[in-house]
């Protein structure tokens, strides 16, 4: 009895996150599912100095390490995503609230008691000017870029996969990831089955040779997995 064809999963986010997602996907689909990890970006700390603050905003788990190594370690924090909150808790931060994305986090912060000066520690790419929106709403807020997303060229394995006709599953975790994939996949012969984590991420993929482009039911890894498993 022949083994049914299963399209490969292409992961382009930073390696640590890709390896974790690959393990989750294989737990659902089988340990022998084909997965190619080919990061189009990696994150590096900027070494920026952090000013005093009363509370933090952590919109990515990549921001936790640089802040945990500073005088702000253990401060109360608002977080985007359960994963970021989990990493922050393990690093000793107290969690004031969790939201699925920056838009809902803004609403959550504005509905909470004013904690004083709020510092958004973020990457060099941001989907929303959160500190600016908080200031406009009457809160004291500032931001510091504590890590940078550094683009990486597509690997030879990724170029070969994209040049081969046939379906390929690809999750898009951010607008920046979508832009980098769009550049790397220009002229691709593969039929990309894309699942974007948000509408903003999906909009960066419109020029790709996709047979399907879906938006996950929720902006989290579990919803991406659900959609990818269905497409597989």
Of 129, 149, 169, which marks where a domain is finished? 149
Max Cα–Cα distance, the chain, nearest Å: 66
Would 4 be classed as within a structural domain?
no
Whether 3 maps to a domain, the answer reads: no
pLDDT at 220: 87
Same domain, 111 and 195: no
* Residue 207, pLDDT above cutoff 80: no
In the numeric block, the tokens 């999963």 are attached to 9
55 and 145 together in one domain: yes
Q: Which residues pair with 70 in a beta bridge?
A: none
Q: What is the reported pLDDT for 3?
A: 55
Cα 191 to Cα 198: distance, rounded to the nearest angstrom: 21
Asked which of 128, 149, 170 is the last residue of a domain, the reply is 149
Q: Are 26 and 61 in the same domain?
A: no
User: For 53-68, how does the pLDDT look when each residue is reduced to its tens digit (9 = 90+)?
Assistant: 999 999 999 999 999 9
Which one is predicted more confidently, 6 or 210?
A: 6
Tens-digit pLDDT profile for residues 6-55: 899 999 999 999 999 999 999 999 999 999 999 999 999 999 999 999 99
CATH code for the domain of 126: 3.40.50.10090
Domain of 132?
A: 43-149
CA distance 135 to 229: 41
Res 1 pLDDT > 50: no
pLDDT at residue 205, rounded to an integer: 84
pLDDT in tens, 108-153: 999 999 999 999 999 998 878 999 999 999 999 999 999 999 999 9
Parallel, antiparallel, or unpaired: how do β-strands 76-80 and 9-11 relate?
unpaired
Average pLDDT taken over every residue of the chain: 93
Strand 118-123 to 141-151 pairing:
parallel
* Residue 182 confidence class, pLDDT cut points 50, 70, 90: very high
Task: Please write down the HEC assignment for all residues of the chain.
Answer: CCCCCCCCEEECCCHHHHHHHHHHHHHHHCCCCCEEECCCEEEEECCCCCCCCCEEEECCHHHHHHHHCCCCCCCEEEEECHHHHHHHHHCCCEEEEEECCHHHHHHHHHHCCCCCCEEEEEECCCCCCHHHHHHHCCCCEEEEEEEEEEECCCCHHHHHHHHCCEEEEEEECCHHHHHHHHHHCCCCCEEEEEEECCHHHHHCCCCCCEEEEEECCCCCHHHHHHHHHHHC
Task: Show which of 149, 170, 197 is a domain's final residue.
Answer: 149
């Amino acid at each position: 009895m022949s083994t049914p064809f299963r399209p490969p999963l292409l992961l382009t986010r930073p390696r640590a996150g890709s390896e974790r997602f690959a393990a989750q996907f294989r737990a659902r689909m089988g340990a022998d599912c084909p997965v190619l990890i080919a990061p189009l970006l990696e994150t590096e700390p900027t070494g920026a100095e952090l000013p005093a603050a009363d509370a933090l905003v952590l919109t990515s788990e990549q921001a936790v390490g640089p802040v945990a190594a500073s005088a702000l370690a253990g401060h109360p924090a608002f977080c985007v995503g359960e994963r970021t909150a989990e990493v922050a808790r393990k690093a000793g931060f107290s969690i004031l609230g969790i939201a699925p994305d920056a838009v809902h986090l803004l609403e959550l912060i504005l509905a909470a008691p004013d904690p004083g000066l709020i510092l958004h520690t973020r990457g060099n790419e941001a989907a929303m000017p959160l500190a600016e929106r908080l200031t406009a709403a009457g809160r004291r807020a500032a931001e510091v870029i504590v890590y940078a997303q550094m683009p990486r060229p597509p690997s030879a394995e990724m170029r070969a996969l994209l040049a081969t006709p046939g379906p390929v599953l690809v999750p898009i975790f951010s607008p920046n990831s979508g832009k980098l994939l769009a550049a790397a996949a220009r002229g691709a012969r593969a039929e990309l089955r894309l699942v974007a984590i948000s509408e903003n991420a999906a909009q960066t993929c419109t020029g790709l040779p996709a047979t399907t482009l879906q938006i996950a039911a929720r902006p989290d890894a579990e919803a991406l997995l659900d959609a990818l498993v269905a497409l597989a």
